């Protein structure tokens, strides 16, 4: 049986999304839809990317395009699926032409990500690519992101972090879009997934809703 505290998690996430939609965030005007998150609000593992692309913007869901197909494969390879994880992005709206996020945009959008994390209380966060990884390595301080090591230095290296009073294991991974263009990353990616698999096997990852 799902306890009442956990039922609250789902309700609270819905409320956060509704409030986020009302907020006057940068990039809102040029976007088609908010891309807030998908998956299981009771998950113990979150995957966090950068920002929506064209397909995500049109459908209002993260990782539904080509990068999403790679992410699905990655999840399947370690016995995970949408029923067992929660997936979101640093930014909640697509930057025009998929340009890189600006520091002020990250500052404006990430309070919503932090609210999501506080509700879900994941044990593990897999940060996908440079922006998400640097955000967590910087402890959420956007001004310190630039000083953080890039994904090529830290991929696959699990690190225990304190984030808004939560103890979380951060596992930086290459962005699933990167391997579309850089096929030589695939073996590294597969090796990094062993680190994720260890976490998945070692903890009770899901409390499925379905
Ligand atoms: N890339 C991301 O970082 N997020 C998405 O949702 C899609 C592509």
| Within a domain: 207 | no
CATH code at position 37: 3.40.470.10
**pLDDT score of 196:** 94
| Within a domain: 172 | yes
Q: Could you tell which of 56, 101, 180 is best to mutate to test the pocket of ligand 1, judged by most ligand atoms within 8 Å of the CB? A: 56
Q: What one-character DSSP code corresponds to residue 138?
A: T
| Within a domain: 144 | yes
Question: From ligand 1's centre to the CA of 1, what distance in Å?
Answer: 33
Provide the domain count of the chain: 1
Backbone angles phi, psi at 29, to 5 degrees: -60, -40
Instruction: State whether the beta carbon of 67 lies less than 6 angstroms from ligand 1.
Output: yes
The 10s digit of each residue's pLDDT in 51-66 is 999 999 999 999 999 9
How much is the average pLDDT of 99-124?
Answer: 98
**pLDDT score of 119:** 96
Secondary structure (DSSP) of 91-131: -SSPPGGGPPPPHHHHHHHHHHHHHHHHHH--SEEEEEHHH
How much is the average pLDDT of 92-108?
Answer: 98
* Residues 134, 150: Cα–Cα separation, whole Å: 7
Angle between helices 186-202 and 66-77 (to 10 degrees): 50
For residue 148, what are the contacts with CB-CB under 8 A and spacing of at least 6? 133, 134, 137, 138
User: Is the Cβ–Cβ distance between 164 and 118 less than 8 Å?
Assistant: yes
**pLDDT score of 180:** 87
* Residues 2, 206: Cα–Cα separation, whole Å: 12
The 10s digit of each residue's pLDDT in 118-144 is 999 999 999 999 999 999 999 999 999
| Within a domain: 189 | yes
**pLDDT score of 3:** 55
Residue 159, helix vs strand vs coil: strand
Domain range for 16: 4-202
User: Is the Cβ–Cβ distance between 129 and 50 less than 8 Å?
Assistant: yes
**pLDDT score of 5:** 58
**pLDDT score of 83:** 93
Mean pLDDT (the chain, rounded)? 92
| Within a domain: 208 | no
pLDDT > 90: percent of the chain = 84
**pLDDT score of 209:** 38
* Residues 144, 140: Cα–Cα separation, whole Å: 8
* Residues 125, 174: Cα–Cα separation, whole Å: 13
Instruction: Give the CA-trace dihedral at 4, 121, 166, 160, to 10 degrees.
Output: 140
pTM: 0.93
How much is the average pLDDT of 144-151?
Answer: 98
**pLDDT score of 200:** 82
| Within a domain: 87 | yes
Question: Has residue 197 got a pLDDT over 50?
Answer: yes
| Within a domain: 123 | yes
Confidence of residue 1 (pLDDT cuts 50, 70, 90): very low
How much is the average pLDDT of 189-194?
Answer: 92
Closest atom of ligand 1 to 67 CA is 8
- Token pair recorded at residue 32: 């088609």
Instruction: State whether the beta carbon of 63 lies less than 6 angstroms from ligand 1.
Output: yes
**pLDDT score of 201:** 82
| Within a domain: 209 | no
Question: From ligand 1's centre to the CA of 141, what distance in Å?
Answer: 21
């Amino acid at each position: 049986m799902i306890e009442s505290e956990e039922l609250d998690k789902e309700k609270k996430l819905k409320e956060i999304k509704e409030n986020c939609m009302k907020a006057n965030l940068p990039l809102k005007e040029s976007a088609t839809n908010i891309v807030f998150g998908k998956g299981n609000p009771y998950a113990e593992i979150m995957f966090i990317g950068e920002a929506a692309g064209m397909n995500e913007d049109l459908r209002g869901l993260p990782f539904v395009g080509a990068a999403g197909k790679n992410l699905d494969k990655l999840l399947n390879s370690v016995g995970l699926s949408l029923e067992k994880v929660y997936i979101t992005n640093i930014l909640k709206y697509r930057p025009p032409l998929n340009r890189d996020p600006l520091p002020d945009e990250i500052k404006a959008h990430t309070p919503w990500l932090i609210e999501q994390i506080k509700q879900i209380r994941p044990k593990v966060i897999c940060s996908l690519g440079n922006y998400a990884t640097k955000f967590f390595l910087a402890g959420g301080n956007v001004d310190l992101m630039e000083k953080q090591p890039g994904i090529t230095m830290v991929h696959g290296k699990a690190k225990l972090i304190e984030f808004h009073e939560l103890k979380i294991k951060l596992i930086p991974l290459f962005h699933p879009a990167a391997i579309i263009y850089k096929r030589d990353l695939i073996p590294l990616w597969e090796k990094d997934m062993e680190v994720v698999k260890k976490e998945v096997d070692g903890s009770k990852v899901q409390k499925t809703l379905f």
